[in-house]
Structure 1
Amino acid sequence: MNVWLKSLLSLSILVCVLSFGTLGWLAVKTTEGPSARSAKKLPDWERTLPPSLLKSLDVDARLEQTATMALHTLDELAERLRKLSSAPGVKPNELVLTFKSPEALKAFRERAAREGFQILHDDPRLLSARVKYTDPLTMARELRQNAEDLQNIGLNYLAWVPGLPDASQVDSANAGGATPFGNSGLNAIGAMGDRSAWGAGTKVAVLDTGVTQHPSLQDSRVTHIDLVKDGLEPNGHGTAMASLIAGTDARDGGVAPASDLLDIRVADTRGESNTALVAEGIMRAVDEGARLINISLGTTGDSDVLRRAVEYALANDVIVVAAAGNEQQTSLAYPAGYEGVISVAAVDANGNQAYFSNSGETLTISAPGVGIVSAYSGNRMVVSSGTSQATALTSGVISALLSWGYPVQGMAKTLTANAQPTGAPKSQVGAGIIQMVQP
């Protein structure tokens, strides 16, 4: 995906977040006014979203202060849904609903077909449903009539494998590092010697574009799960991540070759995914017994269902490692930005923050991410850059540590305590550059 398009999508997602919050505010404003409206009881189809649901939409107080109109009719609410659905940063005509109870989710399932809604996926553990609709008016009526059952109404934001901005447009907010490693970065993190048994007994889920056959992975145990189901060949990004975690190439292999890989394809051949599908992938990884989930993709949209999926994984002692993002932003992509996730930035061969790497106060750690050699589809080896590569190397380190008995609960502290300081602010490189802790 072109970088300018990704920037446009990021901006569009931000606008959608604000607009959807405004939608909730505007809808709830219709509760003001038996004096302004008829004092008689409103029919079901004119019910409004209550303040409790408004709160779940994370409405910015400034929006409430500056909003100047109210949605007094169902048609106006439907029109707002139409406008939000056409934004380039979201899946069109989709909502992700979370419910207050299993009974509420069950009741929605029973209504869905009758109302013309398609439930693309639902998960009782998250009390969530990914819903596709064709008629915004019917969807608006559903939201109002059953508002008391809803915990959150969310757009399904696009997520993507991060590309790189133009190197000539270096962001002055970071160190601008662009010196390539020219190898897989193993030396820089102390992953030396015989690694053949590293990661033994550890299952690592790779949520990505899919893992293809490659000589560097021919001895690896890989289980494939395709959640995209578009019938197309995966692109090479997922293969690259898998090789940096568990590849066996003699010169440019992975950190922990003995790891079991769980390939969960959540992004298409263009590297595009969405927050609901990533959440589904996380839940599937937990179900399949992964101890560690590598997510080398992200979004700027804060999704309730994605956050819930991350929390579910963490509660089940599954480590989540995610890329900070390549947008030169001063905030982390999601899910890297969620509490408890091990977020990873990229550094160059001089230890400087990569020119593309996002920054953030909650950043955990950094790893090699400029000019990294890895496997790729078509039996190729390629040189590429990104917080994706840094994240995969970090997952490889964690897999090795887990195989040596390091506890899940203290993993983040283990990594940060042994990181190599760079002198850069924590917001740029976290605790420093990850280093292998030998058993």
Structure 2
Amino acid sequence: MISAEDETKIEFRGLILHLMNNWLKSILILSILACVLSFGTLGWLAVKTTNVADGSAAKPLPAWESTLSAKKPGQINLEASLDQATALALRTVDELAARLRQLSATPGVKAGELVLTFKSEEALKAFRDQAASLGFKVLHDDPRLLTSRVKYSDADAMARALRQNADDLDNIGLNYLAWVPGLPDTSQVDAANAGGDVPFGNSGLDAIGATGDRKNWGTGTKVAVLDTGVTDHPSLEDSRVTHIDLVKDGLAPNGHGTAMASLIAGDASQDGGVAPASEILDIRVADTRGESNTALVAEGIMQAVDQGAKLINISLGTTGDSDVLRRAVEYALEKGVIVVAAAGNEQQTSLAYPAGYEGVISVAAVDANGNQAYFSNSGENLTLAAPGVGIVSAYSDNRMVVSSGTSQATAITSGVISTLLGWGYPARGMAQTLTTGAQSTGAPKNQVGAGIVQLVRP
């Protein structure tokens, strides 16, 4: 049997062990808490240090432009765009720089370029003044649009500049490629397209009611042709043509711009333009390959407005929805300048830009039977159509050629508008005048709009 004294000793030892165990647990718990607090403090300091270094704290990136996917190789891919959610997730300069490198390598954009939109003219000027120190070059900016086209070779430097100026930026945009639309492979005709391919074999003047003596049509109207440049040609020798070259590559223009000018203002006896008395403002925005970009097209629009053009013909386009291009179009429309643009030749169910912007007179192509051309884009905002298959026009080297496209349809429509302006029709109501007078084909509006453009005589 255990004596009372021994029982007391056992209870005492148990108490001592219990206290020791609790004390060890307490020490262990306190140690763990101390470690957690230490790591938390280090983590907080690291985050604060990073935020101070790259400026990401309280400076979310502004919106990035979205893009349209397209079937044509080399055009923009939707997955390559950077949406707002992704932009906000780029919390460090390194992440942003990596994304810039990825976007710069995307087909369909000008590598190493951005188009930035600012919240104020003061912010735009301050950014321009910082360019050299921040490691990039300003190629062009416009205080009226609050935009700046910048070129960079160091993605890390560009990322730091974007972070430092995040509070002043309203939009970060890629500089999308734009191009004179070519024709798709005829073996890949889109089922959604009417498939018209019967050539006019002439300039299409009869089909739009442009008959009789046209020599004074377009009097008093200056038409800006934003294209590959206009060269000398016999059909334009009596026309007033002013040249502005924004490409400045030292190369000779290709014939596309000359063709567009001849369909507007050419005076060839048999296959001349609609309005030979029009003054042509040739603004070269596309190179010999027919390639341009949205920033340069926007600059061309602003030049056209500044030079007093009443009408701007844009027989080229892009699938990228560009903030600077949209702003330039809106500026022109606000100034009362009419913008006419090609729907595009990609067999798409959406219009190329700027044709797809509200307020722009967008033009599709029809063949000699009045059917939507097999290549012509469709779209809910399509205004109307014009002859665009087998059209005779001028070209470089004093040639006459037969070609097809929504480019030709657009130039013919611009000739009609120039004529109507010369006859006293108001610019503000021109879209309504055209759609009211268009010849219906019975086709859906998304294919040919209101129908085939017609000259509505006063």
Q: For each residue in 1:234-278, what CA deviation from the matched residue of structure 2 results, as whole angstroms up to 9, or x when unmatched?
A: 000000000000000000000000000000000000000000000
Report how far residue 114 of structure 1 moved. Answer: 1.5
The percentage of counterpart residues that share the same residue type is 76
1:292 aligns with: 311
Give the whole-Å Cα distance in 2 for the aligned partners of 1:297 and 1:136. Answer: 30
Partner of 2:23: none
8 A contact 1:49–1:147 mirrored in 2: no
Gaps in structure 2 of 5+ consecutive residues: 1-40, 68-77
Paired with 1:255 and 1:347, the residues of 2 have a C-alpha distance of: 17
Given the alignment of the two structures, is residue 269 of structure 1 paired with residue 284 of structure 2, yes or no?
no
- Partner secondary structure for residue 75 of structure 1: helix
Partner residue of 1:417 out of 436, 439, 450 = 436
For the 8 Å contact 1:48–1:147, the answer to whether it is kept is no
2:174 counterpart residue number = 155
The letter for the 1-side match of 2:306 is D
Q: Quick one: distance in 2 between partners of 1:66 and 1:151?
A: 15
Indicate yes or no: 2:412 matched with 1:393. yes
Match of residue 351 from structure 1: 370
SS at match of 2:231: coil
Read off the aligned partner of 2:225 and give its amino acid letter.
Answer: V
- Flag the 1:75–1:210 CA change in 2: closer, same or farther, 3 A: same
**Closer, same or farther: CA 204–145 of 1 in aligned 2, 3 Å:** same
Q: CA deviation at 1:48?
A: 5.8
Report the RMSD for the aligned CA atoms in angstroms: 2.3
Look up the match of 2:26.
none
Say if 2:61 and 2:163, in contact at 8 Å, map to a contact too. Answer: no
Match runs of 1:295-374 below 5 Å: 295-374=314-393
How far apart, CA to CA, are the structure 2 residues paired with 1:35 and 1:153? 34
* Contact kept in structure 2, 1:354 and 1:369, CA below 8 Å: yes
In the TM superposition, what are the counterparts of 1:25-424 in structure 2 within 5 Å? 40=48, 42-47=51-56, 50=59, 53-54=62-63, 57=65, 70-424=89-443
SS at match of 1:225: strand
8 Å contact kept, 1:117–1:134: yes
Comparing 363-372 with 163-172, greater Cα deviation is found at: 163-172
The separation in 2 between residues aligned to 1:35 and 1:325, in whole angstroms, is 57
Q: Residue 53 of structure 1: CA displacement? A: 1.8
Change (3 A) 1:65 1:390: closer
Residue deviations 1:115-160 (CA, integer Å, cap 9, x gap): 2211111111011110001110011111111101001100000000
Q: Which runs of 5+ in 1 are unaligned?
A: 1-33
Q: What is residue 31 of structure 1 aligned with on the other side?
A: none
Give the number of equivalent residue pairs: 405
Determine which structure has more spread, i.e. the larger CA radius of gyration: 2
User: Is the CA contact (8 Å cut-off) linking 1:236 and 1:376 kept in structure 2?
Assistant: yes
1:190-235 deviation digits (Å, cap 9, x = unpaired): 0000000000000000000000000000000000000000000000
Per-residue deviation at 1:71?
A: 3.3
Q: Does structure 2 conserve the Cα–Cα contact (< 8 Å) formed by 1:344 and 1:367?
A: yes
Give the aligned residue type for 1:347: V
> How far off its partner does 1:294 sit?
0.0
Q: Return the offset for 1:330.
A: 0.3
Amino acid in structure 1 at the alignment position of 2:325: L
Question: Using a 3 Å threshold, how does the CA distance of structure 1 residues 201 and 44 change in structure 2: closer, same or farther?
Answer: farther
Per-residue CA deviation, residues 263-312 of structure 1 (Å, 9 max, x unaligned), is 00000000000000000000000000000000000000000000000000
Q: Is the 8 A contact 2:65 2:323 kept in 1?
A: no
C-alpha spacing 1:216/1:49, structure 2 compared with 1 (3 Å): farther
Give, in whole Å, the separation in 2 of the partners of 1:88 and 1:357. Answer: 23
Tell me by how many angstroms 1:70 deviates.
4.1
Give the partner amino acid of 1:212. T
Q: What secondary structure sits across from 1:119 in the alignment?
A: strand
Secondary structure of 2:62's aligned partner:
helix
Relative to structure 1, the CA distance from residue 48 to residue 98 in structure 2 (aligned partners, 3 Å threshold; closer, same or farther) is farther
Q: Which secondary structure does the structure 2 equivalent of 1:43 belong to?
A: helix
Could you say what secondary structure the match of 1:363 adopts?
A: coil
- Once the two structures are superposed, residues 150-178 of structure 1 have per-residue CA deviations (whole angstroms, 9 ceiling, x without a partner) of 01100000000000001221110011000
Q: Distance in 2 between matches of 1:69 and 1:280?
A: 30
* Gap change, CA 1:175 and 1:150, over 3 Å in 2: same
- SS for the counterpart of 2:326 is helix
Deviation string for 1:35-61 (max 9, x for gaps)? 99657473152416855823x64599x
Q: CA–CA distance in 1 between the matches of 2:342 and 2:134?
A: 39
User: 1:26: which partner in 2?
Assistant: none
Paired residue for 1:438? 457
Structure 1 residues 423 and 117: alpha-carbon distance in aligned structure 2, compared to 1, 3 A threshold: same
Taking the aligned partners of 1:68 and 1:133, their CA distance within structure 2 comes to 19
Residues 216, 277 of structure 2: 8 Å contact kept: yes
CA contact (8 A) 1:49 1:144 kept: no
